[in-house]
Amino acid sequence: MEILSSVRRISIKEIFKDNSPNYLAAQQDSIPDYVSATIKKMLSCRDPEKLGYHKYACPEHPDQYIVIPHSCKSRFCNSCGKVLTDKWVKEIILSFPMFLFIIFVLLFLKS
């Protein structure tokens, strides 16, 4: 079996970035506005120029800083949706009552 190590992985965001402008232009009459807005929101996720950012600098070394871009917080976005899904799962698990299960297995052997 041959392993292809040179294959580049493509993200959903890249697919939308490459194809959504043409698709939205061609289907603009049949796509609701909220769908277009959700796609644009997802494409601007973690883009400091579109959604802004926080900049943190060391008080003693102001030339050393880190830029943290804002996220879109959309369920449709791969990274933001994963975070929201994990949070939801944790809340659901905590809402279940805790039970103790004891299981007995009896084996009868014929001799």
Domain ranges of the chain: 12-95
Instruction: Please compute the mean of the pLDDT values over residues 61-65 and round it to a whole number.
Output: 91
- 109: pLDDT strictly greater than 70: yes
- CA–CA separation, 101 vs 108, rounded Å? 23
What are 68-107's pLDDT values in tens digits? 999 999 989 988 999 889 999 999 999 988 888 888 888 8
**pLDDT for the residue numbered 74:** 92
In the chain, DSSP assigns E strands to 53-57, 65-69
**Do the bridges between strand 65-69 and strand 53-57 make them parallel or antiparallel, or are there none, so unpaired?**
antiparallel
**pLDDT for the residue numbered 88:** 92
Q: How far is CA 101 from the centre of its chain?
A: 35
Lowest mean pLDDT among 4-13, 52-61, 68-77: 4-13
Q: Sort 72 into a burial class: Cβ within 10 Å, 0-12 / 13-18 / 19+.
A: buried
Mean pLDDT, the chain, whole residue set: 89
**pLDDT for the residue numbered 32:** 94
Instruction: Please compute the mean of the pLDDT values over residues 17-45 and round it to a whole number.
Output: 93
Instruction: Please compute the mean of the pLDDT values over residues 52-76 and round it to a whole number.
Output: 93
